[in-house]
């Protein structure tokens, strides 16, 4: 099941997890890597072809808590370039699958670990979720209306600071391996990755250009030229006219001659009043009327679209940002490559769908596979669409 793309020579083993680990595995598969996941027998939460986060992999169901499972898993890991796991610190070691054991058999293995707090530290063993990690890292305090912070979905901790930084760490380790010939452990923590994503805001903070109050700063909705506005039909537009020339262009297109809006955009003391005046102006036209007014210009005004509408936006269609295999929309692989283009990998596997074939590829004989199945250590599921 080798894919096409810049990582088509890469072999990845993913130990089933949630959030950032599956996202990293999905992206590697999108880039052409051969990825298979070790699932838990009887697991049901990902039993659907429509789970975008699980696309592009094959599934082997293995009971890691049963005696003999570690040796089976190690034989599967022996031929891998990358291992991805998202358990709490120490779990893989207790299963007999820690980095030391894996590296003793496969010294070139890049061992990617993703947790909320990291492998060490006072909070390493604490449970948590995206919201907790970005709250403790200072990020959440800056997001939301003045009254209270709000969760920015789970994009910053889980997927940006977690999954994407895990990917970056794995790729960096692979580049280093080309010189040293040795793998290493990548310790990715969502709290740390999320904090790293806020580097520019820290720069503003350190230069005295960022207030602790929400809706009082350049990028948090406090600036009249960088926020969302409700329109006459209840829809919203996003205005991002930060630069003077873009702001002036927007005012010209909108026919706004208000001297305060024309001349006081850099006066932070006037921002609340400017926001109020603009809010009233935006209520005079529908969302689509505003967008038509500014279309094809540098006014930096765009509609706020929901997921359904986003797939039919003209630029998204032209760039094929979304694909819809089986009629179900999902984001297309990104970024793009001119010499080694990627392609959408296959749909999400069902748990245990590829157990037998993956075991055979790893060198297990038919008799060994039958014995392991009889013991309940592995499980092979025949999906309904293949029965």
Backbone torsions φ then ψ of 332, nearest 5 degrees: -75, 160
Q: Is 205 a catalytic residue?
A: no
- Alpha carbons 160 and 166: distance in angstroms, whole number: 9
Closest to 166 in 3D by CA, of 365, 27, 310: 27
- Alpha carbons 336 and 5: distance in angstroms, whole number: 9
Q: Is 158 a catalytic residue?
A: yes
Q: Residue holding tokens 């039958």?
A: 370
- By the 10 Å C-beta count (0-12 exposed, 13-18 middle, 19+ buried), 383 is classed as middle
- Among residues 30, 81, 130, 158, the one annotated as catalytic is 158
Question: 134-147 b/e with 16+ CB inside 10 Å = b?
Answer: bbbbebbebbbeee
- Alpha carbons 380 and 22: distance in angstroms, whole number: 21
For the chain, the residue count is 387
| CA 296 distance to own-chain centroid | 30
List the Cα angle 135/137/139 in 5-degree steps: 65
Q: Residue holding tokens 């291992």?
A: 83
Q: How many CB atoms lie within 10 A of CB 306?
A: 9
- Among residues 78, 129, 205, 288, the one annotated as catalytic is 129
Q: Which residues are known catalytic residues? A: 129, 158
């Amino acid at each position: 099941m080798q894919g096409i793309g810049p990582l088509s020579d890469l072999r990845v083993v993913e130990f089933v997890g949630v959030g950032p680990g599956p996202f990293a595995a999905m992206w590697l598969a999108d880039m052409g890597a051969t990825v298979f996941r070790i699932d838990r027998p009887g697991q049901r939460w990902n039993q659907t072809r429509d789970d975008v986060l699980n696309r592009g992999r094959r599934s082997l169901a293995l009971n890691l808590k049963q005696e003999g499972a570690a040796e089976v898993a190690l034989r599967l890991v022996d031929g891998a370039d990358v291992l991805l796991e998202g358990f709490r610190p120490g779990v893989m070691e207790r299963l007999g699958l820690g980095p030391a054991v894996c590296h003793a058999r496969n010294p070139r293995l890049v061992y990617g670990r993703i947790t909320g707090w990291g492998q060490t530290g006072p909070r390493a063993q604490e449970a948590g979720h995206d919201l907790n990690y970005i709250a403790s890292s200072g990020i959440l305090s800056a997001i939301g209306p003045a009254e209270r912070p709000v969760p920015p979905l789970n994009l910053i901790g889980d997927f940006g600071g977690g999954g994407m930084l895990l990917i970056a760490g794995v790729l960096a380790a692979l580049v280093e391996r080309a010189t040293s010939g040795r793998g290493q452990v990548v310790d990715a923590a969502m709290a740390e990755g999320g904090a790293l994503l806020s580097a520019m805001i820290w720069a503003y903070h350190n230069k005295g250009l960022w207030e602790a109050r929400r809706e009082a700063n350049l990028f948090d909705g406090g600036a009249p030229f960088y926020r969302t506005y409700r329109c006459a039909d209840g829809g919203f537009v996003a205005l991002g006219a930060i630069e003077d020339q873009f702001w002036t262009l927007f005012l010209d297109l909108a026919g706004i001659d208000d001297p305060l809006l024309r001349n006081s955009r850099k006066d932070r003391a006037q921002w609340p009043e400017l926001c109020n005046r603009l809010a009233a102006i935006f209520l005079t036209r529908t969302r689509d009327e505003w967008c038509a007014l500014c279309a094809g210009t540098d006014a930096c005004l765009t509609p706020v679209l929901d997921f359904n509408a986003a797939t039919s936006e003209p630029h998204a269609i032209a760039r094929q940002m979304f694909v819809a295999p089986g009629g179900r929309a999902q984001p297309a692989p990104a970024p793009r490559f001119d010499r080694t283009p990627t392609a959408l990998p296959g749909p999400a596997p069902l748990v245990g769908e590829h157990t037998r074939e993956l075991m055979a590829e790893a060198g297990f004989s038919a008799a060994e596979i039958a014995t392991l199945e009889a013991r309940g250590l592995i499980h092979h599921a025949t999906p309904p669409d293949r029965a």
